[in-house]
Amino acid sequence: MTGILSAMSLKLPIYLDHNATTPMDPRVLDAMLPYFTEKFGNAASRNHRYGWEAEEGVDYAREQVANLIGASAKEIVWTSGSTESNNLAIKGVADMYGKRGSHIISAVHEHKAVLDPVKRLQKEGFDVTWLEPNSDGIITAEAVENALRDDTILVTIMWANNELGTINEIPEIGRMLKDKHSEKDKPILHTDATQWVGKMPTDVERDGVDLLSASAHKMYGPKGVGCLYVRRRRPRVRLTPIIDGGGHERGMRSGTLNVTGIVGMGAACEIAGKEMDAEQERLLKLRTRLEEGILSKLEMAVVNGHKTKRLPGTTNISFPYVEGESLMMAIKEIAVSSGSACTSASLEPSYVLKALGLGDEIAHSSIRFGLGRFTTEEEIDYTIEKVVKNVQHLLDMSPLWEMVQEGIDLDSIEWGAH
C-alpha cells in the first residue's frame, strides 16, 4: 500500500463497531415486512386469522432460534433484548431459589446488564463472589470451581466479552457443575451470550447451559427484541417473573409480543446458522489482516486479551502514549469504540481492561475494532493506513513517547507536582 487509499472508491464512514450493534441484513427485513402491514395481528388473539398468522410467525421464529442454540422451541422466552433477559434470569433465579441458598458467582468484567442486577441482589442481602479474569481476560472453570459453596444457587458468566472478544470456559464450567452436583442441588448456570450467539457454534444441551441471553441486533436482526433460553429438563429451571400482567410466555414474561421483531430475530438466527462457518473464516482473515497491518508498523501497539481464544471479528488494541479519544477523533470517518456501547459516554477508563491489570493510561489508549458480515478488505486496508498515520502523528506530539525513544525509563522518574 502506498499512501492513504483513495476514499473515492469507499463508502464512508466505515463501520467497525459491530460489537455495539449490527446493520440489519436485507434478508431479515424481507422476512419482517409482511408482519408490519399484512400479518399485523396480535399473537395472543386466537379467535381469527390475523392472530393465527401472527402466532405462526412467532412459533416459527422460536424454532429458528432454538435450532441455532441446540434447544427446543418451548425453551425460548421472548424479551426486549439481552438486558431484560439478563435481569429475568438473574433476579428470577434469586427469588425462586433464594430459600435454597444466597450465594452467587459472577465476574468483575461482565457487561453492565449483568453487573448491575447482581449488585442489586448484593444490596438485598445475597452474597456475591466476584471472579477476576486471568491475564488473558478469561474466566476458567477452575476459578468457578474454587468459588463454589454449598449455598451457591447461581453462576452467571458471559460467554464472550463484549470489549475484548475473549471466550470464557462456558462448556467446561457447565460440565464441571454437572459432574460435581446432582440435578436437585446443582447451581443454575446462566450465560450472557449476547456477543456469542450467531457468531459461534452453540449447543446448550451439550454445554450444560441452563439459562442463555441473546439479542437480535447483535446478529443482523432488529433492535428491541431478544430471548432467554430457559432449560425445561435435567434440571427444569423455574423463574419468578419480573414483569406481571397477562401471563404471556408461560407466565415468565407478560406483554404483547413484538411479532415483527421476533420474526426478524428468527430469520437472523437461521441465516447465521447457515453461514456461520464461512463467516468465521472470513472474519478471522480480516482480523488477522488488520492486526498484522497495524502491529507491523507500530512497535508500541499491543492486542489485549488471549491471542487466539477470541471472537473472530473482534480485536482490542492499545496504543500506549496515545489518548484513545484523540485517536478516535482523528479517524472519525471510521466508526470504532473505546469500550462498551453502554459505557462509551463515560470518560472513565474501561473497567474491563483494568480488570486485566492494565493501568489507566493504557486503558485510555485502547480501541475496539468490531468487524462484521459486510466488512471488506478494502475497508480494512483503509483503516490500517488511517490508524497508523494518525497514531504516528499523535506520538510525534507525545513527550512521553519521545522520552521512551531516548531510552529513558519512565518508571524511574519521580513525578512531582509543578
Alpha-carbon torsion, ordered 181, 183, 184, 189, to 10 deg: 80
Q: Give the separation between CA 272 and CA 3, rounded to whole angstroms.
A: 37
**Sequence-ordered list of residues with C-beta below 8 angstroms from that of 59, at least 6 positions apart, any chain:** 73
Cα 248–Cα 71–Cα 177 angle in degrees, nearest 5: 105
Q: Count the neighbouring beta carbons within 10 Å of the beta carbon of residue 18.
A: 27
Give the pairing type, strands 127-131 and 76-79. unpaired
Q: Using the 8-state DSSP alphabet, how is residue 160 labeled?
A: B
Cell (9 digits) for 348 = 472513565
Distances (CA, A) of 102 to 80, 179, 187: 28, 22, 11
Q: Give the separation between CA 399 and CA 408, rounded to whole angstroms.
A: 11
**Sequence-ordered list of residues with C-beta below 8 angstroms from that of 233, at least 6 positions apart, any chain:** none
Positions of E strands within 16-168: 76-79, 103-107, 127-131, 152-156
Q: Give the separation between CA 215 and CA 222, rounded to whole angstroms.
A: 9
Residue type for position 303: V
Return phi, psi of residue 237, to 5°.
-95, 130
**Sequence-ordered list of residues with C-beta below 8 angstroms from that of 151, at least 6 positions apart, any chain:** 100, 101, 102, 103, 127
Q: Give the separation between CA 254 and CA 50, rounded to whole angstroms.
A: 20
Q: Pick the catalytic residue: 1, 4, 12, 342?
A: 342
CA nearest 196: which of 285, 286, 310, 305? 310
Burial of 291 (C-beta count, 10 Å sphere; 0-12/13-18/19+): middle
Q: Is 227 a catalytic residue?
A: no
Distances (CA, A) of 205 to 19, 82, 305: 26, 20, 28
Chain centre to alpha carbon of residue 38: 34
Give the catalytic positions in this structure.
Answer: 342
